[in-house]
């Protein structure tokens, strides 16, 4: 429970906050056209890191509004930026990662 308690300068991002299949009432915090289909903790962590944000993740945690789903969440150091700006930036970064062709590895 101490993970979820308010911490100055930090914000919690649940997977539902960016999920396009969720309604605003179910926890989506970004516009549907910006939201992504079934985001993962790894994608949110990677996108946050690309934006220069410090990240801590907690797997298998349940959002209070959907206690039966154990999706997990990410705690981010906001750095004084507004919550909506951070969420939109992460959603755009995930969309960019998904649209980019996979990197080819060099010869073994």
Q: Does the global pTM surpass 0.85?
A: no
Which of 32, 6, 4, 5 is CA-nearest to residue 20?
32
Q: What is d(CA 64, CA 3) in angstroms, rounded to the nearest whole number?
A: 13
How many C-beta atoms lie closer than 10 Å to residue 98's C-beta?
A: 11
Contact 86, 78 (CB under 8 A): yes
Cα angle, residue 47 at apex, residues 88 and 42 outer, rounded to 5°: 120
Binning pLDDT at 50, 70 and 90, where does residue 28 land? very high
Cα angle, residue 78 at apex, residues 77 and 84 outer, rounded to 5°: 135
What's residue 5's pLDDT?
Answer: 59
Report the pLDDT averaged over residues 80-97: 94
Binning pLDDT at 50, 70 and 90, where does residue 2 land? very low
The domain segmentation of the chain, as residue ranges, is 10-99
Report the pLDDT averaged over residues 64-84: 83
Domain 10-99 has CATH 3.20.20.150: no
Higher per-residue pLDDT: 101 or 85: 85
């Amino acid at each position: 429970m101490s993970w979820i308690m308010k911490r100055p300068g930090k914000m919690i991002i649940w997977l539902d906050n960016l999920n396009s299949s969720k309604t605003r009432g179910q926890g989506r915090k970004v516009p549907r056209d910006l939201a992504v289909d079934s985001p993962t903790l790894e994608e949110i962590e990677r996108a946050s890191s690309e934006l220069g944000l410090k990240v801590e993740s907690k797997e298998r945690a349940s959002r209070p509004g959907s206690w039966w789903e154990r999706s997990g969440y990410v705690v981010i150091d906001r750095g004084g930026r507004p919550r909506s700006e951070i969420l939109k930036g992460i959603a755009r970064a995930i969309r960019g990662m998904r649209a980019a062709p996979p990197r080819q590895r060099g010869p073994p």
